[in-house]
């Protein structure tokens, strides 16, 4: 029955992709403009996003503002991570926060296209070593059934198709329900997510450079736990990319970086 439902849902999504009029429409504000092409974002929304280019933490990718002397965020100076490096294209603030919320909770599944395109730029400029496999951070089965989709999985499939990299959506599994992370402090987030993930078939990740994809990076507790499990299963390195990242505590002035999408 679950397999049948999955097939029906994929068929429905494919039909919606065909009938949804997306040409010249901004996915964020729904405005129409003939200048809007495959980026699916208008100039007004683009200018409201805070892009991260050369001013992100060299470990987790958090935005460091216009202080060019900073190389690592406050969190990475204090706490080691399991992953090798993380990057994000934009700051989790303002219009970005609203757009991601609508993507996840308002059933705007088509928005994976705009987020996937933003992420492609981060991957291209990340300096990651050769990636062998893409793995999305999994949702607990009940939450995925309730929401109808895994937001990270949709983006992962987009990245996989565009970069021709193998994707694995089956072997990293979330085996228990956890509290919403953004409601918890750092220490509680780590406890909350501890042992929430397992690897079903460890042979799948042996000696692989994994690109782990999630929606938001704040403290990194979730991707750290996923990375730990993947590394214990034989992965060589785990690189992380998310749609957006939180602000570094040392950042007092958010200076916008302009970034022309290609």
Q: Domain limits of the chain?
A: 1-48, 51-248
Residue 1 has pLDDT above 60, yes or no: no
The token duo for 108 is 């705007």
pLDDT digits (tens, 9 = 90+) for 62-91: 999 876 677 899 999 999 999 999 999 999
Residue 251 has pLDDT above 70, yes or no: no
**Mean of the per-residue pLDDT values of the chain:** 86
Instruction: Classify burial at 259, counting beta carbons within 10 Å of its beta carbon; exposed 0-12, middle 13-18, buried 19 or more.
Output: middle
pLDDT digits (tens, 9 = 90+) for 122-159: 898 787 768 999 999 999 998 899 899 999 999 999 99
Kindly report the pTM of this predicted structure. 0.85
Instruction: Classify burial at 249, counting beta carbons within 10 Å of its beta carbon; exposed 0-12, middle 13-18, buried 19 or more.
Output: exposed
Calpha distance 99→41 (Å, rounded): 11
Other CB atoms closer than 10 Å to residue 50's CB: what's the count? 21
Please state, for a pLDDT cut of 90, what percent of the chain lies above it.
61
Q: Comparing C-alpha atoms, which of 50, 15, 52, 45 is closest to residue 27? A: 45
CATH fold, domain 51-248, is Rossmann fold (3.40.50)
Tell me if 35 sits within 8 A of 45, measured CB to CB: no
- The pLDDT confidence band at residue 187, using thresholds 50, 70 and 90, is confident
Per-residue pLDDT at 258:
46
pLDDT digits (tens, 9 = 90+) for 52-63: 988 899 999 999
């Amino acid at each position: 029955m679950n397999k049948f439902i999955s097939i029906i849902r994929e068929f429905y999504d494919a039909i919606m992709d065909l009938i949804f009029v997306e040409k010249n429409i901004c996915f964020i504000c729904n405005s129409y403009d003939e200048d809007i092409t495959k980026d699916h974002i208008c100039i007004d929304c683009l200018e409201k996003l805070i892009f991260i280019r050369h001013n992100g933490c060299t470990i987790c990718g958090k935005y460091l503002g216009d202080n060019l002397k900073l190389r690592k965020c406050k969190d990475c100076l204090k706490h080691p991570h399991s992953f090798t490096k993380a990057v994000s294209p934009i700051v989790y603030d303002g219009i970005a926060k609203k757009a991601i919320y609508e993507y996840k909770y308002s059933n705007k599944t088509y928005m994976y296209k705009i987020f996937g395109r933003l992420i492609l730029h981060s991957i291209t400029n990340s300096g990651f070593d050769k990636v062998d496999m893409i793995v999305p951070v999994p949702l607990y089965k009940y939450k995925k059934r309730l929401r109808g989709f895994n937001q990270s999985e949709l983006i992962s499939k987009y990245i996989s198709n565009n970069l021709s990299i193998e994707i694995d959506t089956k072997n990293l599994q979330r085996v228990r329900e956890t509290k919403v992370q953004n409601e918890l402090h750092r220490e509680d987030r780590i406890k909350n997510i501890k042992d929430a993930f397992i690897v079903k078939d460890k042979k799948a990740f042996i000696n692989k450079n994994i690109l782990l994809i999630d929606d938001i990076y704040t403290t990194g507790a979730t991707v750290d736990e996923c990375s730990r499990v993947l590394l214990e299963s034989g992965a060589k390195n785990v690189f992380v990319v998310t749609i957006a990242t939180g602000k570094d505590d040392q950042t007092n002035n958010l200076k916008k970086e302009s970034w022309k999408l290609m």
